[in-house]
């Protein structure tokens, strides 16, 4: 975790800021851009022990069960839904790609005359349906907009110390929770079970339900899912999905 209090804080510059922080510790001066870079390093320190590789904007974990992506998008000069000059911010998202879904995507590629892609390839995308379900909102939402305001009050550009404290206190927990959610979703049958447990199925749910159910061979549940798929999709779009499911 990036520490912003205390004289031994690493990576936060060599100069002391104005005044004294909580607990009598001097604060180090650090500008918002530098703070964001340091927090990106902290994200990597949290994710690497969990099997993720990457840096800055994208971290990837590939296992026998599938792939999980943690991605960062930047949002500068923005805070609380309004323009805020000098603010630096980012959001984190997670995407889970079950191994069975990857095999289906490659089947479709080869059906269209394209080469199969390794699971690690950037073009291998997930269903984008359950990634954020079940995430806690307390103490913070893992997908919140993390922002650091610019503080010009002392005559030099510095990051707002309250923002540094808030991000430093909560970011590692949020990143870990987001990553664990992705790893949970690629466990065998987990994505399928969560889709089936949704009280109301949307049109986009039926393709992954059919694909993931087909892993277990013919069944009445698969037949019912295929019927729902065909009832909600145009024949041309449903046909290759049904073809794949019936070929398993």
β-sheet bridge partners, residue 94? 70
Asked if residue 176 and residue 212 are part of one domain, the reply reads: no
Asked if residue 212 and residue 135 are part of one domain, the reply reads: no
- Report how far residue 159's alpha carbon sits from residue 47's, in angstroms, rounded to the nearest whole number: 25
Residue-level pLDDT, tens digit, the chain, 248 residues: 443 333 223 333 333 333 323 332 234 558 899 999 999 999 999 999 999 999 878 999 999 999 999 999 988 876 666 666 778 899 999 999 999 999 999 999 999 999 999 999 988 999 999 988 888 888 989 989 999 988 877 667 888 899 999 999 999 999 999 999 999 999 999 999 999 999 999 999 999 999 999 999 999 999 999 999 999 999 999 999 999 999 98
- Report how far residue 76's alpha carbon sits from residue 149's, in angstroms, rounded to the nearest whole number: 10
β-sheet bridge partners, residue 93? 71
Q: What share of the chain is helix, strand, coil (3-state, %, to 5)?
A: 45, 20, 40
Asked if residue 94 and residue 178 are part of one domain, the reply reads: yes
Number of domains making up the chain: 2
Question: Which of the 8 DSSP states describes residue 27?
Answer: B
Residue found under tokens 């087909």: 214
Residue 207 lies in domain = 198-247
**Of 45, 92, 46, which Cα lies nearest the Cα of 69?**
92
Asked if residue 154 and residue 221 are part of one domain, the reply reads: no
Residue 7: predicted pLDDT: 28
Asked if residue 233 and residue 126 are part of one domain, the reply reads: no
Question: Which of the 8 DSSP states describes residue 5?
Answer: B
Asked if residue 206 and residue 116 are part of one domain, the reply reads: no
**Of 150, 169, 170, which Cα lies nearest the Cα of 160?**
150
- Quick one: which H or E segment has residue 53? strand 53-55
Residue 186: predicted pLDDT: 97
State which of 145, 162, 185 marks the end of a domain.
185
Task: Tell me the three state secondary structure of residue 238.
Answer: helix
Asked if residue 107 and residue 224 are part of one domain, the reply reads: no
**Of 26, 3, 29, which Cα lies nearest the Cα of 15?**
29
The number of C-alpha atoms within 13 Å of 234 and in the hemisphere containing its C-beta is 2
Asked if residue 56 and residue 176 are part of one domain, the reply reads: yes
Asked if residue 138 and residue 95 are part of one domain, the reply reads: yes
Residue found under tokens 């590629």: 109
Asked if residue 219 and residue 177 are part of one domain, the reply reads: no
What would the two tokens of residue 140 be? 């913070």
State which of 160, 185, 210 marks the end of a domain.
185
């Amino acid at each position: 975790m990036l520490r912003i209090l205390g004289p031994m804080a690493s990576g936060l510059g060599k100069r002391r800021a104005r005044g004294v922080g909580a607990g009598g510790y001097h604060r180090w001066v650090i500008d918002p851009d530098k703070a964001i870079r340091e927090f990106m390093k902290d994200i990597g320190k949290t994710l690497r022990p969990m099997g993720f590789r990457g840096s800055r904007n994208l971290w990837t974990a590939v296992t026998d069960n599938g792939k999980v992506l943690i991605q960062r998008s930047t949002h500068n000069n923005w805070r609380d839904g309004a323009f805020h000059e000098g603010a630096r911010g980012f959001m984190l998202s997670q995407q889970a790609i079950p191994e069975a879904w990857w095999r289906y995507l490659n089947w479709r590629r080869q059906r269209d005359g394209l080469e199969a892609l390794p699971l690690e390839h950037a073009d291998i995308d997930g269903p984008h349906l359950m990634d954020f379900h079940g995430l806690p909102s307390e103490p913070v939402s893992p997908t919140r907009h993390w922002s650091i305001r610019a503080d010009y009050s002392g005559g030099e550009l510095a990051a707002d110390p309250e923002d540094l404290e808030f991000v430093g206190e909560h970011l590692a927990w949020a990143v870990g929770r987001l990553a664990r959610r992705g790893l949970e979703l690629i466990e065998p049958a987990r994505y399928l079970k969560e889709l089936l447990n949704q009280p109301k199925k949307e049109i986009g749910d039926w393709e992954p339900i059919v694909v993931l159910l087909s892993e277990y061979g013919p069944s009445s549940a698969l037949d019912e899912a295929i019927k729902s798929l065909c009832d909600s999709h145009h024949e041309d779009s449903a046909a290759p999905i049904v073809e794949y499911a019936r070929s398993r």
